[in-house]
């Protein structure tokens, strides 16, 4: 697991008017950081407010002139801050403070409190500014109308009240200013413009590039392993074997599936590894689709080092200690002269950036360990679960990331007949079993 440093913790504070995607951004950052091995958690001030003050708060509650309500809201913000500090003191590496934090005074209070509590803490502010009324309205409709504040209200009534809530916040909103002398990134109009200031250290720079790649345009991401390979049939790990006849058939059927699924759309991004089995599969797909792919080493299968070319049984016989160690902790175990799953995660991080950045549908044709890592990122799986995720051969996993979750469909393709069997989310949940190697 990665460490920020023994003493050093990080707080990421969100800033912005309501319905500017702050919760979306903080969840994405949190997921990314957890996936990278930094223990991270979002503290949403709104949830504290709902728990303490109830959900029956109309826009008047957010009027800065409403003294009692302002006091109650400040108390909720402090409670969240307190819990966040405790989390960092105990297990956490990074806390995300998800609220509007719209005034300089509030930000100053947070900075001072954190500096008092920690000898060393990095605070990084992320401000989301959006002036596009259509985007704001879409955001209200997508994410706010279902929130507990509006249970039993009509959609028009809820939208109107939420717009009035925004106006209340706007009365006192002070965008982050350089004179506050804090580290920040401003994301303007969903990434059309970015401003950064006083970025400190490795993690903040990483987050800046991550945030620069984010957008909210929905597009499908398709993951598939290569077709069955010679090594798959021999139950051997590693190697660079070619496809079997069945594997080749799958590659052809996969191409047909994509032609139909994408309805002839050639405007897509496709990534594959540099290994024969993946290249052969991708070639078949591309020939039918009429597109080109990017072949990247970052997508090559986990390197099994000295175990390359062996079956799991042969590994157990030849290297019993390694076999046991891997069984005990598949995530951190590194094959001698090879890789661990943690190594793979840091290697495929570049692919996450590519996928996040793309506004076009994305196809990734790769390998079991690689796809486990990518899949876990989109589904917020706990990192230790990654090596056990079920990514079978001859199946397409279609992911469509939405505001707060990722929709999944699995399409099982019969290599011989081309028959597809579609599993929706409910079925996937039922049949999701973890491999127990
Ligand atoms: O068996 C196919 C394969 O892609 C191997 O090349 C690779 O070593 C293995 O899967 C990764 O899966 P696991 O981590 O479960 O051994």
Q: How far is the CA of 421 from the centre of ligand 1 (A)?
A: 25
Whether residue 328 has its Cβ less than 6 Å from ligand 1: no
- List the alpha helices (DSSP H) in 335-381: 341-357, 368-379
Whether residue 302 has its Cβ less than 6 Å from ligand 1: yes
Q: How far is the CA of 292 from the centre of ligand 1 (A)?
A: 27
231 is in an annotated binding site: yes
Q: How far, in Å, CA of 176 to CA of 306, rounded?
A: 54
Q: Can you list the domains of the chain with their CATH numbers?
A: 9-211 (3.40.50.300), 221-431 (3.40.50.1240)
Evaluate the CA torsion angle 359, 365, 370, 373 in order and state its sign.
positive
Q: Return the pLDDT at 427.
A: 59
Distances, alpha carbon 262 to alpha carbons 77, 267, 268, in Å: 46, 9, 9
Pick the atom of ligand 1 nearest to 387's CA.
14
Residue 394 is among the residues annotated as catalytic for this protein = no
Q: Which of 236, 241, 301 to mutate to test the pocket of ligand 1 (most atoms within 8 A of CB)?
A: 301
Q: Which of 335, 367, 368, 392 to mutate to test the pocket of ligand 1 (most atoms within 8 A of CB)?
A: 368
Burial class (CB in 10 A: 0-12, 13-18, 19+), 249: buried
Q: Return the pLDDT at 247.
A: 98
Residue 226 is among the residues annotated as catalytic for this protein = yes
Cα angle for residues 47, 3, 373 (degrees, 5° grid) = 75
Tokens of residue 158, six digits: 């809820």
| DSSP per-residue codes, 104-140 | HHHHHHHHHHHHHH-SSEEEEEEEEE---HHHHHHHI
What pLDDT tens digit does each residue of the chain (437 aa) get?
A: 454 555 579 999 999 999 999 999 999 999 999 999 999 999 999 999 888 888 777 788 888 888 988 898 899 999 999 999 999 999 999 999 999 999 999 999 999 999 999 988 999 999 999 999 998 998 888 877 777 888 888 889 889 988 999 999 999 999 999 999 999 999 998 888 999 999 999 999 999 999 999 887 889 999 999 999 999 999 999 999 999 999 999 999 999 999 999 998 999 999 999 999 999 999 999 999 999 999 999 999 999 999 999 999 999 999 999 999 999 999 999 999 999 999 999 999 999 999 999 999 999 999 999 999 999 999 888 899 999 999 999 999 999 988 778 899 999 999 999 999 998 766 566 554 333 22
Instruction: Please tell me the pTM assigned to this model.
Output: 0.89
Say how many Å lie between the first and final Cα of the chain, rounded.
Answer: 22
- Whether 143 contacts 23, CB under 8 Å: yes
Q: Return the pLDDT at 264.
A: 86
Residue 289 host element (H or E): helix 276-289
- Whether 214 contacts 126, CB under 8 Å: no
8 is in an annotated binding site: no
DSSP category for residue 366: E
């Amino acid at each position: 697991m990665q460490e920020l440093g023994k003493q050093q913790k990080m707080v990421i504070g969100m800033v912005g008017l309501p319905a500017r995607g702050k919760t979306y951004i903080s969840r994405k950052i949190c997921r990314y950081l957890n996936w990278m091995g930094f223990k991270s958690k979002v503290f949403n001030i709104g949830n504290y407010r709902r728990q303490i003050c109830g959900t029956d708060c109309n826009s008047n509650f957010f009027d800065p002139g409403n003294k009692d309500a302002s006091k109650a809201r400040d108390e909720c913000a402090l409670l969240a801050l307190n819990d966040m500090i405790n989390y960092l003191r105990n297990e956490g590496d990074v806390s995300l403070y998800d609220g509007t934090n719209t005034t300089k005074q509030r930000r100053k209070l947070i900075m001072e409190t954190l500096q008092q509590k920690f000898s060393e803490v990095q605070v990084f502010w992320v401000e989301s500014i959006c002036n596009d009324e259509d985007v704001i309205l879409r955001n209200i409709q997508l994410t706010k109308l279902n929130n507990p504040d509006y249970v039993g209200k009509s959609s028009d009534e809820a939208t109107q009240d939420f717009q009035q809530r925004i106006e209340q916040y706007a009365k006192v909103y002070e965008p982050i200013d350089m004179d506050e002398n804090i580290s920040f990134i401003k994301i303007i109009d969903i990434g059309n413009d970015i401003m950064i200031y006083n970025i400190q250290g490795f993690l903040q720079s990483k987050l800046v590039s991550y945030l620069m790649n984010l957008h909210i345009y929905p597009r499908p991401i398709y993951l598939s392993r290569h077709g069955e390979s010679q090594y798959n049939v021999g139950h051997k790990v590693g190697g660079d074997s070619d496809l079997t006849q069945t594997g080749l058939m799958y590659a052809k059927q996969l191409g047909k599936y994509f032609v139909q699924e994408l309805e002839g759309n050639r405007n897509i991004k496709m990534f594959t590894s540099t290994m024969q089995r993946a290249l052969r599969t991708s070639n078949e797909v591309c020939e039918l689709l009429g597109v080109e792919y990017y072949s990247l080493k970052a997508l090559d299968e986990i390197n099994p080092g000295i175990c390359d070319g062996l079956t799991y049984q042969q590994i157990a016989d030849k290297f019993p200690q390694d076999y046991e160690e891997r069984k005990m902790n598949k995530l951190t175990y590194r094959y001698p002269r090879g890789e661990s799953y943690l190594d793979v995660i840091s290697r495929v991080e570049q692919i996450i950036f590519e996928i996040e950045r793309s506004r076009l549908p994305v196809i990734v044709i790769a390998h079991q360990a690689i796809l486990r890592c990518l899949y876990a990122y989109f589904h917020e799986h706990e990192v230790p679960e990654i090596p056990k995720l079920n990514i079978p051969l001859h199946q397409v996993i279609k992911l469509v990331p939405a505001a707060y979750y990722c929709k999944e469909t699995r399409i099982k393709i019969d290599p011989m007949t081309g028959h597809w069997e579609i599993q929706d989310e409910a079925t996937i949940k039922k049949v999701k079993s973890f491999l127990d190697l």
